[in-house]
Structure 1
Amino acid sequence: MDVFGKALTEFFKKGDADILWLHNSYADVEEMPVEIFFRSEEEMPPLELQAINLCYGKVLDVGAGAGSHALSLQKAGFDITAIDISADAVDIMKHRGVKKALTQSIFSTKDKYDTLLFLMNGIGLTETLACFVTFLSQAKELIHPNGQLLFDSSDISYLYEELPKPEGYFGEISYCYEYQGQKGDWFNWLYLDQETLQLTASQNGWKCEIIFEDGEDQYLARLTIS
């Protein structure tokens, strides 16, 4: 059941939606505001605007959701392809005017791009630190020479100030969406602190630049092949 896609669809059709709940592996259930996936460029935070401004060449928007970032890039004249594993989300993107929107995982992508863009903690879809390392190897085959990875992530160590840290890397979280009483499948998500990211990137042949920090543990990173 694509619970996330159902919530997006209802908001797109009605301009409103019931509460989308996000269960997690570390604390109480949280509310996920559906409207944030439909933000205009004027409503986007500085971090996302910075990322959009740093894009160049042929761009792949990964985990594009309702397509807000793709629409902004398309309006600016970029050759932009938007992908998401939610067929409902891709259908919404097409209706909103994204010219190239595909139901696809980054792990099945074969084309090459100049910019791979992951926003709203989108790099988390790599799920674990080990899988992120595997992805870094794959990404070298997906970008042209002088290409780049752009993504934001967060240091979530603050979650464990009063709780024992889990075994393994603390940035590996599990989530489950719930909408109108229906729960989706649990899925894993990765948050990278800056020190771990920079060390992992360096060990796997990438140069990592921290481009922007929002002062609330979230940051924008740019990776290029070293």
Structure 2
Amino acid sequence: MTDHDPYGRAIRDHHEGEREAPLRDVDGAEVREHPIERFYFGEFDPETTPDGEWLVERLDGPLVDLGAGAGQHALYFQRRVETVALEVSDHLVETMRDRGVADARRGDMFSLRETFERDRFRSALAHGTQLGLAGSMRGVSEFLGDLAHVTTPDATAVVDAYDPTRENASDLLGYRPDPTPGLAHRTYHCEYEGDVGPTLQFRLFSPDRLREAAVGTGWTVAEIVHSGGGADPHYRAALRKR
């Protein structure tokens, strides 16, 4: 099993009905209980999920689901197209397999060239703002370049992120401002049953900064959809090959 993985272990325990303690996201004195059931075990239904139909219309197969969590999206898409679900946590890979994900694999979304061959996928999904774990805008550009390598010339992708220019961005747990327009950071760690996970360092970037990061990678940002009202920082970006 993955060592030192309270995040993945808590989700797996929840799936098995054995979780008695909360999974907590912690930034100093600020603590938030992680909403495991809502985030990972609700069924993805395009007709009832916000932006669900928009998402389905922009993805095709073969599809790679990057940072697939407990397989919420993979379970839906594998009924329609070939779907590979990638997760860095062994606990989450086992959870996905238990839940019926046909092709759940352990792997790092930031090591795509080492994991898959060129032109392997027609579409990619990175849902959960984990693209921010690239750590820097250079890291985002490198990820997009690697994603271009493992996808076909006519590929599409959907990623999501937090826009630090939105009014409520500073309410995010672990938010750190940045003097550069359109950029910020987010830092926190997870705790479960006394086990403290590694510090997570997210880069937050506006849609304009994402467009800049895509230059030279083979991708262009085709659409931006903000999930909530004008103050909500969460957004989805539809990408397509140039």
TM over 0.5: yes
Secondary structure, aligned partner of 1:18: coil
Q: How does 1:15-54 map to 2 (within 5 A)?
A: 17-24=20-27, 28-35=30-37, 36-42=39-45, 45-54=49-58
* Pairing 1:7-156 to 2, within 5 Å after superposition: 7-14=10-17, 17-24=20-27, 28-35=30-37, 36-42=39-45, 45-75=49-79, 77-106=80-109, 107=111, 108-111=114-117, 112-156=120-164
Structure 2 contact 207–224 (Cα < 8 Å) conserved: no
> Share of identical aligned residues, percent?
24
Amino acid at match of 1:80: T
Is the contact made by 1:171 and 1:193 (CA closer than 8 Å) also made in structure 2? no
CA RMSD of aligned residues (A): 2.5
**Correspondence 1:200 to 2:202:** no
CA distance change for structure 1 residues 182 and 14 in 2, over 3 Å: closer, same or farther? same
How far apart are 1:151 and its partner, in Å?
A: 0.8
Q: Unmatched 5+ residue regions in structure 2?
A: none
Q: How many residues align?
A: 223
SS in 2 for 1:14: coil
SS of 1:70's equivalent? Answer: helix
Distance in 1 (CA, whole Å) between partners of 2:235 and 2:73 is 17
Corresponding residue number in structure 1 for 2:177: 165
Secondary structure at the counterpart of residue 102 of structure 2: coil
The answer to whether residue 234 in structure 2 is matched with residue 222 in structure 1 is: no
Q: Which residue of 1 aligns with 2:202?
A: 189
Contact in 2 for aligned 1:210/1:221 (Cα 8 Å): yes
Is the partner of 2:68 in helix, strand or coil?
coil
> C-alpha deviations, 1:1-38, integer Å up to 9, x for none?
1101111111101176532111248x822221111211
- Please say if residues 148 and 219 of structure 2, whose CA atoms lie closer than 8 Å, have aligned partners that are also in contact: no
Q: Structure 1 residues 170, 208: CA separation in 2 closer, same or farther (over 3 Å shift)?
A: closer
SS at match of 2:116: coil
Structure 1: distance between partners of 2:34 and 2:85: 22
> Shift of residue 204 of structure 1?
4.1
Contact 2:42 2:72 (C-alpha < 8 Å) held by counterparts: yes
Residues 124, 179 of structure 1: CA spacing in aligned structure 2 closer, same or farther, 3 A cutoff? same
d(CA) in 1 for partners of 2:34 and 2:127?
Answer: 16
Q: Are the structure 2 counterparts of residues 33 and 171 from structure 1 closer, same or farther at C-alpha, using a change threshold of 3 Å? A: same
Shift of 1:205: 4.1
What amino acid is aligned across from residue 186 of structure 2 in structure 1? I
Judged with a 3 Å threshold, the aligned counterparts in structure 2 of structure 1 residues 102 and 153 are, in CA distance, closer, same or farther, namely: same
Instruction: Tell me: CA distance 1:17–1:82, structure 2 relative to 1, closer, same or farther (3 Å).
Output: farther
Structure 1: gaps (5+ residues): none
- Deviation digits for residues 104-147 of structure 1 (CA, Å, limit 9, x no counterpart): 11213223211111012132232221211111221221111101
Q: 1:49 to 1:87 in 2, by over 3 A?
A: farther
CA–CA distance in 2 between the matches of 1:52 and 1:20? 30
Give the conservation status (yes or no) of the 8 Å contact 1:115–1:149: yes
